Structure 1
Amino acid sequence: MATYRSPAVLLSVDGTRTSGTAALFTEPARKGGLAPWAGDFRPAAGSATIKNAVGKTLTLEMPDGRTGKVVVQSLKGGTKNTVLALLGEDLAPF
C-alpha cells in the first residue's frame, strides 16, 4: 500500500526532467538505521523519456521541492504504459 501518491518529477544527470506520478512507501527501519523506501513512477503522457533507465541513479523531486535519490530497479509495461520500479537511497522525501 502506498504511503505517498502524487505528481513528481524524475531528474537525470543530463538534465532531463520527466513528469509523472509517484507511488511510494516505506518499510520499518532496522535497528539504528534509516527506513528503506521504494515505489513506482509512471511517466506522464508526452513527457521526456529517460533512455536506458535501469540501473541509473536519478533525483525524485516532489511538488513541495523536497528531493530524494533513487535507483531505477526495473522497467515494467510497454511504451505507452511504462512504470519504473524505484529504490530510494538516504532519507525518504515524503
Structure 2
Amino acid sequence: MATFRSASTLLSSDGTRTPGTAALFTEPGRKGGTPPWAGDFRLANGAGNGPKDAVGRTFTLELPDGRTGKVVVQSLKSGKGGVTLALMGQDAPPF
C-alpha cells in the first residue's frame, strides 16, 4: 500500500485553487487493474471553509512536483483541526 503526504492544491473546474495537505494511500489492485486510491485533504490555515458544495464534485489534485489526479469529494468534516475533505481518486494514482 503506497502512501503520500504533502502540501497540495485542489483545483476546481472554475480555476479556484485551494491550498492544503493531502494524505493519500493506494490499495492493492485487482489483477491487471488500476489500484484504487483515496485519502484526506486538510485545508491550509486561511483557506476558509473550502470549496462550496464540494461533496460529490470532481476536482483536480495538484501535487508539489506538478503531477495531478482527478478526485471526487466524498464528505466534508469540520472540527478543531479545521476542514478536512475525504477524497476518492479516479484513474491512476498521481503519487
In which range does the TM-score fall when normalised by the shorter chain?
A: over 0.9
Kindly indicate whether the alpha-carbon contact (under 8 Å) linking 2:2 and 2:27 is maintained by their aligned counterparts in 1.
no
| Structure 2 gap ranges (5+) | none
Which deviates the most, 80-89 or 53-62? 80-89
The alpha-carbon deviation at position 2 of structure 1 amounts to 7.3
What is the alpha-carbon root mean square deviation over aligned residues? 1.7
Residues 61-94 of structure 1: per-residue CA shift (max 9 Å, x gap): 0000000000000011249611000000001010
Q: What whole-Å deviation, never above 9, does each CA across 1:17-76 have from its counterpart, x for those lacking one?
A: 000000000000011110000000001011262000000000000000000000000011
Distance 1:35 1:83, change over 3 A: same
Aligned counterparts of 2:89 and 2:63: Cα–Cα separation in 1 = 13
Find the counterpart in structure 1 of residue 53 from structure 2: 52
Match of 1:21 in 2: 21
Structure 1 consecutive aligned stretches of length 4 or more whose deviation exceeds 3 Å: none
Q: Which position in structure 2 is the counterpart of 1:72? A: 73
**SS at the partner of 2:41?**
strand
- 1:52 and 1:78, CA in 2 relative to 1: closer, same or farther beyond 3 A? farther
Distance 2:18 2:25 in 1: 20
Contact between 2:23 and 2:39, CA under 8 Å: does it hold in 1?
yes
Distance 2:65 2:11 in 1: 15
Which sections of structure 1, spanning at least 5 residues, go unmatched? none
Aligned position for 2:41: 41
Tell me the residue number matched to 1:30. 30
TM-score normalized with structure 1 length: 0.93
